Amino acid sequence: ARGAEAAGADEQLVLGLLDADHGDPAAAVERLRVEWGRQPGTAVADALGWALHRAGADEEALEFATIATDGDKGGGVRSALYVFHRGVIEKELGRYGPARRHLGEALTINPYFSPLRVPEAKRALAELGEPPVEGPPD
């Protein structure tokens, strides 16, 4: 771990994302909460938000995804992956307008950002469909 960290890699972040997607999301949340306490930054906010989503805690996940993607909250890095994560979380929470916007933004930032996530983003957008014509409710 020290060699990877000395070379600039955040091993805890990488392992947390790996656990979130392919292992134990609850363990990923635990690992990434510790990392957030050690170095609260945009990359860790995104990873922790994604791990929380994968663990089923979407309300809290959205808080961290917002930190990672919203310039007013300290994030604002133009990352297709971060915005994709936020859009997926918003879709899960039934916030379809913001989900549609963020999933579309991810594909606009980089239509090739991930061979796995790009098809997921396109599928999610297709499921969401077009926004209602009548506009938002009063």
- Look at phi and psi of residue 122 and say left if phi exceeds 0, alpha if psi is from -120 to 50, else beta: alpha
Looking at the domain assignment, is residue 27 inside a domain? yes
Q: Which structural domain, as residue segments, surrounds residue 22?
A: 1-76
Looking at the domain assignment, is residue 134 inside a domain? no
115 with 63, same domain: the answer is no
Quote the tokens at residue 66: 């917002």
39 with 53, same domain: the answer is yes
Q: What string of pLDDT tens digits covers the 138 residues of the chain?
A: 555 454 445 799 999 999 999 999 999 999 999 999 999 999 999 999 999 999 999 999 999 999 999 877 666 778 999 999 999 999 999 999 999 999 999 999 999 999 999 999 999 999 999 887 776 665
103 with 61, same domain: the answer is no
